[in-house]
Amino acid sequence: MDKILRVNMCVNGKPEVKVESVGDYAGLGGRGLTSAIVSKEVPPLCHPLGADNKLVIAPGSLSGSAAAMSGRISVGCKSPLTGGIKEANSGGQGAQVLARLGFAAIILEGKPENKNLYKILINKDGVQILEDNSLRMQGNYDTVDRMKSEYGDKISCISIGQAGEMMLGSASVAFTDMELRPTRHAGRGGVGAVMGAKGVKVIVLDDSGMKMRTPRDPEKFKEANKRFVSGLKKHPVTGEGLPAYGTNVLTNVVNEAGGFPTNNFKEGRFEGAPKISGEALAEMEKERGGNPTHGCHRGCVIRCSGTFIDKQGNFLTKQPEYETVWAHGANCGIDDLDAIAMLDRLDDDYGLDTIEMGATIGVAMDAGLADFGDAEAAINLVKEVGQGSALGRILGSGAGITGKVFGVERVPVVKNQSMPAYDPRAVQGIGVTYATSTMGADHTAGYSVTANLLGVGGTVDPLSPQGQVELSRNLQIATAAIDSTGMCLFIAFAILDQEDTFNAMVEMINAFSGLSLTGEDVAELGKKILKIEREFNRQAGFTEKDDRLPEYFLKESLPPHGVTFNVSDAELDSVFNF
């Protein structure tokens, strides 16, 4: 993985490909690489949809190897949604295949002078860029089916749907799973809009004839990987809860804790939660012949995904994730799993972030466009986005824009990005992460739910401001480092609780790379990434005033606990004092 593929979409009127050495970016992967390239090569004040912005797609430093859980991929750019730096993370086969092809990153830059749409084919023989306007306004599922018919079923695809082509702020980049379905998405921040601005509809990857990446010390790598996997399987979350019920295992847990945002963040408990819980979803999947335990990429041992079968016995979508079930469920007052699964399918096909769209529909319901609990109306609103109507383009631009257009005051966004499935008043540590993350409101940036609700890595009272800044800070540092390896963030449950599992991970990295990293070195990598991201945002115009929650979270008490968000501004401003 010693090459960078640079694709300039307009050199003398046509696309040009260059294959370069990684050069100064050597040793970086995933988020570490995307943020390094964006911070160095993208002007912070450029228009996100203009020629100067760049879309960087980078597998992790361990991707393409036999390392367990190493199939995550990062997509980076200046975000059309937040206006700051963005890294959106995805599973699927893309990371493993791109890494085996030898590329540390694909950089899409420039902007076509014409309105043509392009597909890019990458295999062991080289790179082809082909004009293909027949793909215009095709959904991700149809686009991938077309690529299968042209290039066979041994490929992996990176694509955008209609939302990306329309360059909407909620647009995602889709990655195909092991079954070659576009079910895994780099969803947050509008990264799909940047791919659309570059005129690229789909990137087809074919690693036929390429070998798996090999470690510098195969024996030590094998032994460390074995210990790492053993630790994951022994932990009750990664070894039992997630494989049995998927990420949606959290619905009953968070609802019971009173932090499950309901009806556009008005309450912390949803009466219909048991109907849409992970337990209910797994039972439905089994009854219909689906599978509640499934990996999104080869090498996954947690297997927290699944397959959702409709009432007619046909595949509809992957098992809806916890965030999706909340966003299109409780947040909109909907307790129908079939409706939520249909919304998930539409989001995946159109290429939309399910969190942003669920939050947006909640705001639209507050505006009176539909009633809370009206699943049919919610489905029709998402279909408006796919059709590209005026209303659809507003909704597809995210909750912040929708709130402004319809005059809604209560809009749950930070840096214009929608909050995920934890109310910051009942889970105050995640509120610190929402407020201060370089990415806008993003639970994965520093998943304080671990200690606030799950008792993983210690315990911090979720309703008190005490200890939340330190918790969020440490997790933001760790997350930035993990995102650079290509490992799934869910390994955090085991490595936070089991010292040997953490040590095995570090030893595995060292055996693969030939380095001699310590745990402190891993933390320093995370700090370095956060520093360059913060500096990009500063130059883009962000100040401490952007590291705040909307004021109603400080004024409106949340049932059932009757609490507000109580971490002070001074404490928020101290998060990055390291």
Summary mean pLDDT of the chain: 96
Distance CA(506)–CA(348), nearest Å, equals 35
Looking at beta carbons, which pairs linking 539-545 to residues 24 or more positions away fall under 8 Å? 539/44, 539/45, 540/44, 540/45, 540/78, 540/83, 540/84, 540/85, 541/44, 541/45, 541/83, 542/83, 542/84, 542/415, 544/569, 544/572, 544/573
The CA distances from residue 178 to 153, 159, 181, 296, 394, in Å, are 10, 15, 7, 6, 34
Coil, strand or helix: which one is 292?
A: strand
Write down the domain spans for the chain: 3-205, 247-423
Across 513-533, average pLDDT: 95
How high is the pLDDT of residue 295?
85
DSSP-assigned states of every residue in 366-389: HTTSS-TT-HHHHHHHHHHHHHT-
How high is the pLDDT of residue 214?
95
Across 185-197, average pLDDT: 98
Distance CA(199)–CA(131), nearest Å, equals 10
Instruction: Give residue-wise pLDDT tens across range 461-480.
Output: 999 999 999 999 999 999 99
* The residue to which tokens 């007052």 are assigned: 333
How high is the pLDDT of residue 290?
87
Instruction: Give residue-wise pLDDT tens across range 54-77.
Output: 999 999 999 999 999 999 999 999
Q: Is the pLDDT of residue 502 over 90?
A: yes
Q: What is the pTM of this model?
A: 0.97
Task: Name the pLDDT band for 47 (thresholds 50, 70, 90).
Answer: very high
How high is the pLDDT of residue 267?
98
**Pairing of β 103-109 and β 3-11:** parallel
Q: Which amino acid is present at 433? A: T
Q: Which amino acid is present at 441? A: A
Angle between helices 468-485 and 519-539 (to 10 degrees): 100
Instruction: Give residue-wise pLDDT tens across range 269-292.
Output: 999 999 999 999 999 999 999 888
For domain 3-205, give the CATH number. 3.60.9.10
- Nearest to 442, CA basis, from 419, 422, 423, 467: 419
The CA distances from residue 379 to 334, 373, 397, in Å, are 11, 11, 17
* Angle (CA) 427 431 434, round 5°: 140
Q: Is the pLDDT of residue 131 over 90?
A: yes
Across 163-185, average pLDDT: 97
**Pairing of β 73-78 and β 85-90:** antiparallel
Across 367-385, average pLDDT: 98
Distance CA(415)–CA(89), nearest Å, equals 18
Provide the percentage of residues in the chain whose pLDDT is more than 90: 96
Q: Which amino acid is present at 546? A: D
Q: Is the pLDDT of residue 1 over 80?
A: no
Coil, strand or helix: which one is 296?
A: coil
Task: Name the pLDDT band for 33 (thresholds 50, 70, 90).
Answer: very high
How high is the pLDDT of residue 293?
86
Instruction: Give residue-wise pLDDT tens across range 239-275.
Output: 999 999 999 999 999 999 999 999 999 999 999 999 9
For domain 247-423, give the CATH number. 1.10.569.10
CB atoms within 10 A of CB 564: 15
Across 363-373, average pLDDT: 98
How high is the pLDDT of residue 297?
80
Neighbouring-strand partners of residue 55: 108
How high is the pLDDT of residue 339?
98
Residues in the chain: 578
Structure tokens at 398: 């995210």
How high is the pLDDT of residue 299?
83
The H-assigned helical ranges of 235-315 are: 236, 242-245, 250-256, 273-276, 278-288
Distance CA(57)–CA(95), nearest Å, equals 9
Radius of gyration for the chain, computed over Cα atoms and rounded to the nearest angstrom: 22
